[in-house]
Structure 1
Amino acid sequence: MDSLLQTISIAALPVIFAITLHEAAHGYAARHFGDPTAWLAGRITPNPLRHIDLVGTIIVPVSILILSTGGILFGWAKPVPVDFSRLRDPRRDMLWVAAAGPAANLCMALFWAMMVKLAWVLPINPFTLPLTRMGEIGIAVNVALMVLNLVPLPPLDGGRIAVSLLPPRQAFRFSRIERFGLPILLVLLFSGILSALIGPPMRLIGALIDFVFQLPY
């Protein structure tokens, strides 16, 4: 139990920010391209309290940590409101708004890699191992969220990117999948197909980060 509580306390910061800053990035990109909806709602902020969903950001990740003994993590924040019709070029700008979330996760993964590197460059101290573990979790969670959200399935970010890139007729037909997106995602998750799809790119990106930063593990 003590080990589990320790894992939860170390994982809390990287997990919460991985989920909430992903959403804040969507709102920032939407405002940049002409839609102030998220800004007017006070959702373009690094303050996680503005993005936390009690179920998706707290209960689900903690429950998964307990049931998986710390092996996997998954969760979500309150979706940032985006009115795509208010974007200056809705079809084109949708791509950048959708891509902003995974891009934020990539930046956070690189940040946590720097924290791990810093922990081992500085003299060994009582924070070396906790910061290393926190950084490892931060890298893993952000890489996982980035790759997962790039799966071309509406309403995931990858699905919106695909809608933006497809010709109008095909884009309209593909976007109609969105109402079935969550059930499809759950089937893929529990069947093991999802892990087979996203596992290889996750491992590749993780290996590249380890190589670039020469991490000590």
Structure 2
Amino acid sequence: MTSVLLSLSAVLATSALVAPAAGAAPGADRPAAAPAGWEAVDAAGLARITEETNARKAPLAGELAADAAAEPELLAMQSVRNGRFVATEANYAAPNTGVLRARSAEFGGSWEGFSFEYDEATETYALKSLANDRYVAVEKNYTGSAQNVLRARSTSVGGWERFILYYSETLDRWALQSTLNGMFVTMENGYTGSLQYALRARSAEPTGSWEEFVLYDISA
């Protein structure tokens, strides 16, 4: 596994943070402006940033392969908040089958792998889990603590499965924003039980490590 982008000083951050509160969703399906300090990244931008950082090493990886920056499509996501990799819970029972959780200590295979598929027309990404070959959707109609949870459960891509990918050059971190509700994906570190570390699109802005991720190229 080779690193797409890393934040070596912040990956295992241990400072205590307060969970950000969810705000009101914007009216438009696709937010018009990026939050301060962040830029929306298209497929070309992802490749460019990858190339600029290809000399660094990941905590769990060696040198980046020479051609890995050409098509950085297969990626693993690591939560900055708890230092764990996002996995697809393909064996969970309904209604949480395929829920995404940052619970793996290291990249172990398809459970922690995702294909980031960019769409030029909408300038958004669809994420397909390599564990079950399903697209990740935001469960807006769920209620309670599971509302807006991310699940790899769709066989096609619509508004529920679209995300904007943001990068902060200052932080060297990534964030995902759902176009369905305009909210940023958050890792629920404070949850307990089967949804502990679940990913939910519920934050109005990327205000800290709860919404920040490190991306790793797993294609090489």
Q: TM-score, normalised by structure 2?
A: 0.24
Q: TM-score, normalised by structure 1?
A: 0.25
- Higher percent of residues as helix: 1
- Higher percent of residues as strand: 2
